[in-house]
Amino acid sequence: MPLARVIAVVSQKGGAGKTTVTMQLGGGFHALGASVVLVDLDPQESAYRWAEAAPLLDSELQLDVRKMSGLELIKHIGDLQREAEYVILDTPPSIHHPSTLAALAVAHLAVIPAVPSPTDLWSTLAVERLILTRMEHSYRLHGCILPNRVQNTALATDVLELLHEFTLPILDAMLCQRNAYPQSAVIGASVFQLASGADAAQKEVAQLIAAVLKQLGEN
């Protein structure tokens, strides 16, 4: 089996959707039949706690989430890459945190969730600058932006505004503001495990997976 591809989910602010995107990526790859390990590098352990809500689910549906420091990640990344096909890293809400820098040191792809509002845009531009700098020092790192919490009513203008501001590619996918995302946290899984009413969110996550695979050059 080839070594796993490593995806880091990064943003400067809390609330942009890192943990949400991490868990949906995990559920989305799992739904495709791929093996996934999630690594929670955030000292607040939100991905880890999210997954802890899952004992209600069949064990095969539970996402495998490990807590680690940046140093532990660097030490164990080779083993993790032999264990699964995709390793997804949830990071602390600071681009200067050692764990975020460790994640970028081992990742093939950095996904930056960006809420299309003026204040969030500023912090996303700062993340982008860091990723662009890191890309100059890494032969394998690529970065991309994922519009998140997009409000249906303002969809077109919000996303157009985003497109103009960034140098990194905008993913050919977006997550709208939907109840299905916080609901899936309650059951410790992704929108694919929600019983009903999650069709639109499932479609978005499937599109997200396709767009991520394209960025990884695997489509």
Ligand X SMILES: Nc1ncnc2c1ncn2[C@@H]1O[C@H](COP(=O)(O)OP(=O)(O)O)[C@@H](O)[C@H]1O
Long-range contacts of 78-84 (CB under 8 A, 24+ apart): 78/3, 80/4, 80/37, 80/39, 81/3, 81/4, 81/6, 82/1, 82/3, 82/4, 83/4, 83/35, 83/37, 84/4, 84/34, 84/35, 84/36, 84/37
Name residues contacting Mg ion, limited to 38-57 (CB under 5 A). 46
In angstroms, the Cα distances linking 67 to 15, 38, 47, 180, 204 are 20, 9, 9, 25, 27
Is residue 11 within the footprint of ligand X (CB under 6 A)? yes
- Residue 178 contacts which entry, ligand X, Mg ion, none (Cβ below 5-8 A, type-dependent): ligand X
Give the span between the Cα atoms of 52 and 149, in whole angstroms: 24
Is residue 190 within the footprint of ligand X (CB under 6 A)? no
Is there a contact between 24 and 190 (Cβ–Cβ < 8 Å)?
yes
Comparison of 85 and 90: residue with beta carbon closer to ligand X: 90
Binds ligand X by CB under 6 A, chosen from 20, 190, 202, 215:
20
Which range of residues in 19-27, 129-137, 139-147, 209-217 is near Mg ion by CB under 5 A? 19-27
Q: What is the separation of C-alpha 136 from the centre of its chain, rounded to a whole number of angstroms?
A: 22
Q: Which amino acid, 31?
A: A
3-state secondary structure of 12: coil
Which range of residues in 15-23, 30-38, 123-131, 158-166 is near ligand X by CB under 6 A? 15-23
Comparison of 15 and 98: residue with beta carbon closer to ligand X: 15
Question: Other C-beta atoms within 10 Å of 113: how many?
Answer: 27
Is residue 182 within the footprint of ligand X (CB under 6 A)? yes
Number of residues that bind Mg ion (CB under 5 A): 3
Is residue 149 within the footprint of Mg ion (CB under 5 A)? no
Which range of residues in 68-76, 98-106, 128-136, 172-180 is near ligand X by CB under 6 A? 172-180
Binds ligand X by CB under 6 A, chosen from 82, 133, 177, 199:
177
Pairing of strands 109-114, 86-90: unpaired
Which range of residues in 7-15, 81-89, 165-173, 192-200 is near ligand X by CB under 6 A? 7-15
Name residues contacting ligand X, limited to 87-146 (CB under 6 A). 93
Q: Which residues make up the interface to Mg ion (CB under 5 A)?
A: 18-19, 46
- Contacting positions for ligand X (CB under 6 A): 11, 14-20, 46, 93, 148-149, 175, 177-178, 181-182, 185
